[in-house]
A and B are shown apart, each in its own frame.
Chain A
């Protein structure tokens, strides 16, 4: 398995994913910089481009990301698992959209999870993955709950574009502008059978705390409750809506004729937003640590 920095070096510089994030980042103050060079990131953190120092940081970072106990690799595999199943689900829904007209493929349409409840469950899994990845990468920083909350806020602030993508692509576009207010109610309607239908859940179940679907469901509801407070503030502060998200995406992707839901399906099927920004976020924290340890 390749290390975190190797993956960072392999990230695309320009493709659909990058364009989608670029477009969305026009809504977020501070914008977004597509970091795809590990050496560049190290030089930025260190404030020096001395090749010997960069080499040292790099080899330390590789040693850290290879050690299973350190959690950097595990955080990445969480992102990859979520991403893979998101693409699979998106692909299925796309097929259902196209195939709805063809009698032979119509059966596929019946199989695809399109209901809002499932969409809400999918979002809650992504939020949970985000929290698990946070603790894998950063541990439990500070001595008090206040310290921990500050650390979480700091991380979310750093990953503002990432969070905006999560809110827009997985909540506002598929569920409408009242998505965050409705999410609690929608999650209340999720039962164990719905959960098991989700491909994301199959990949993540063993990484969630607690045993059994019931415990996992409780964990997801609590996690989303925590996140909603923050996400609600963030959304109203930036004034995020589905309409604005589509307009922002149109600046880079070109004009869009379809509905919001189709846009969400399209993004699910063809972009790796979650994984792309995830690798960048983990890499930065890893480099900050390696630079401090050499």
Chain B
């Protein structure tokens, strides 16, 4: 009798420890559904790397960054306090379906496929990986104005961005440093202009 009791207590202890470990330790990030489309974070370029590729605003205009996440960076182009357009760069690794619309595209901008989405949005796919999007807000922008805005992004810099490798992502600061290194390399490659 004492023996079964001992086994029972032991078993109870093991089970409760296992359950406790699962609930209390940060295993949450191992469960599926933590990231968009379950793509590992290390495979997506950090939004920080996109910020300096946005166009310089004209005189009187103002560029205000509004969101920066992994694989995404967005800014608003403002004039006199009014939002003229949303500008964004995103890594399509987490949204493969976004690539499809470029397959049938006829128009090109600096060699990359260009697509109009509805009356106010224009998209460009750079290096089959990075999507630049300009969406007119408020009174709206003409298609030519949107394309001109897209052309002023640093497209060469964007095409040369290297994705952070999966191994580096294992280190806490891995992806960030990888992103900065590739930018540094880029600056060295870029002709002074």
Residues of A within 8 A of B (CB): 45-48, 50, 53, 56, 60, 63-64, 66-71, 137-143, 147, 150-151, 154-155, 285, 288-289, 291-294
Contacts and interface: CB of A to CB of B under 8 A. Distances in A.
B67 A139 contact: yes
Contacts of A289: 67, 69, 72, 74, 88
A48 B33 contact: no
A63 B34 CA distance: 11
A70 B118 contact: no
11 contacts: A48-B118, A56-B97, A68-B34, A141-B67, A141-B73, A147-B51, A154-B66, A289-B72, A289-B88, A291-B121, A292-B133
B131 interface: yes
Interface of B: 28-29, 33-37, 41, 47-48, 51-52, 64-70, 72-76, 86, 88, 90, 92, 94-95, 97-98, 117-121, 131, 133, 135-137, 140
Contact of B140 (A47, A50, A147): A47
**Secondary structure call for the A interface:** helix
B135 A291 contact: yes
Contacts of B117: 46, 48, 53, 294
Contacts of B97: 56, 294
Contacts of A69: 29, 34-36, 41, 70
Contact of A141 (B68, B70, B94, B118): B68
Given A68-B33, A292-B88, A293-B98, A142 B28 contact: no
A76 B14 CA distance: 36
B65 A142 contact: yes
Q: Which of B28, B65, B68, B74 has the most chain A CB atoms closer than 10 A to its own CB? A: B65
A139 B120 CA distance: 26
Given A141-B67, A154-B64, A294-B95, A68 B74 contact: no
A70 B90 CA distance: 14
A50 B97 CA distance: 18
Contact of B98 (A137, A141, A294): A294
Q: Which of A66, A71, A141, A151 has the most chain B CB atoms closer than 10 A to its own CB? A: A141
A282 to B, nearest CB: 12
Given A67-B35, A294-B98, A138 B67 contact: yes
A294 B94 CA distance: 10
List of 6 A-B pairs having minimum Cβ-Cβ separation, nearest first: A47-B120, A48-B118, A292-B88, A141-B65, A142-B65, A139-B68
B113 to A, nearest CB: 15
Contact of B33 (A45, A67, A142): A67
A47 B118 contact: yes
Contacts of A68: 28, 33-35
A47 B35 contact: no
Contacts of B69: 70-71, 139, 289
B118 A66 contact: no
A141 B136 contact: no
B72 A46 contact: no
B86 to A, nearest CB: 6
Given A67-B34, A292-B133, A294-B95, A47 B121 contact: yes
A48 B68 contact: no
A244 B87 CA distance: 39
B66 A46 contact: no
Given A47-B140, A67-B33, A67-B36, A288 B120 contact: no
